[in-house]
Amino acid sequence: MNDYIVRATALDGKIRAFGAVTTNLVNELQHRHQASPVVTAAMGRAATVGAVMGIMLKGNDRLTIQIKGGGPIGQVVVDANAKGEVRAYASNPQVDLPLNAGGKLDVAGAVGTDGFLNVIKDLGLKEPYRGSVELVSGELGEDFAYYFGQSEQTPSVVGVGVLVDRDYSVKTAGGFIVQVMPGVSDEDLTYIETELAKIPNVTSLLSEGTTPEDIIQQLIPGEVRFLERTEIAFTCTCSRDRLESVLISLGEAELRSLAEENQGAELVCSFCKEKYQFTVEDLESLIDVLGKKD
């Protein structure tokens, strides 16, 4: 089954919800980065929420999420857009830790809690939107809920999970976001809180065949209106031309050093791990381009 996100509303638009299944996406991340189980869980949770936040955008808008918690995983970065294209990486993908006290993957221990969750949205304006909050748990679901409430003033519940198999592959991954708009009654809020307390974790539900639509139906009171379903997939935007621009930005002296001392350069995309080779002749051509600009 392809990964997808479904968008829904209820109570005359006073509640909006998103449900996602991201198993293929997270499997791709694990494979490309050869990530340990705990890093796969952290990247997968962040990428799942990032995918949903991308769907919240319009047109050619895109966003970048940066999570820096001071833990051994280093930085987690997610890039997503309104078309359902997502990519992600962690600075130290092979980090492994013992299970936490609850017998679960220690995502909080890997991510850390001494740092920030940053969101940068390119909305086609002169300056990008930037939002930032301190990490409150390192488990990421709570941290994103805190971000929505503090930075975007939208009270939200975020549930997200990744179930990693013994061979490090991803058995299932996905999540949901429920957001409360102004005008919701106390009775409806109580209903949502009660259902959230009863609902099993996301990976258990998805493993049993529960769909994102089913999860939303269970969480939201009244009639739910499903608006759209968007397929999502790992997509990287790197290219040789883009990396040529990166090399040119280093300047003539650095390019000459790479050509003379290193006999060329190899650049590796952080997101997809694709390798790009640049020979001495390639670097000399880029130096010529710089000379023409001057």
pLDDT of residue 8: 96
pLDDT band at 160 (very low <50, low <70, confident <90, very high): very high
Residue keyed to tokens 């918690």:
69
Q: How far apart are CA 176 and CA 46, in angstroms?
A: 12
* CATH number at 240-293: 3.90.1280.10
Two structure tokens written together for 89: 């990486």
pLDDT of residue 87: 98
User: Which of residues 26 and 197 earns the better pLDDT score?
Assistant: 26
Q: Is the pLDDT of residue 30 over 70?
A: yes
Q: Is the pLDDT of residue 294 over 80?
A: no
Q: Is the pLDDT of residue 238 over 70?
A: yes
What mean pLDDT, rounded, does the chain reach?
93
Which of helix, strand or coil describes residue 294? coil
Cβ-contact 290, 251 below 8 angstroms = yes
Per residue in 5-14, pLDDT tens? 999 999 888 8
Burial class (CB in 10 A: 0-12, 13-18, 19+), 182: exposed
HSE-CB of 219 using CA atoms within 13 angstroms: 32
C-alpha dihedral, 254 to 256 to 262 to 263, nearest 10° = 150
Q: Where are the alpha helices (DSSP H) in 115-238?
A: 141-151, 186-198, 202-207, 212-219
pLDDT band at 293 (very low <50, low <70, confident <90, very high): low
Which of helix, strand or coil describes residue 243? helix
- For CA atoms 221, 201, 74, 40, give the dihedral sign: negative
**Count of helices and strands (H, E) across the chain:** 10, 13
Q: Poorest-confidence range of 71-85, 93-107, 157-171, 189-203?
A: 189-203
pLDDT of residue 262: 83
Q: Poorest-confidence range of 172-176, 177-181, 218-222, 266-270?
A: 218-222
Q: How far apart are CA 268 and CA 226, in angstroms?
A: 41
Cβ-contact 214, 174 below 8 angstroms = no
Per residue in 109-148, pLDDT tens? 999 999 999 999 998 888 899 999 999 999 999 999 999 9
Domain edges within the chain: 4-234, 240-293
Exposure string of 131-167, with b = 16+ CB inside 10 Å and e = fewer, is bebebeebbbbbbbbbbbbebeebebbbbbbbbbeee
Q: How far apart are CA 118 and CA 227, in angstroms?
A: 29
- For CA atoms 232, 52, 225, 187, give the dihedral sign: positive
CA distances from 209 to 102, 177, 212 (A): 25, 19, 10
Domain 4-234 has CATH 3.40.640.10: no
Whether this prediction's pTM lies above 0.85 is answered by yes
Cβ-contact 250, 290 below 8 angstroms = no
Q: How far apart are CA 284 and CA 270, in angstroms?
A: 25
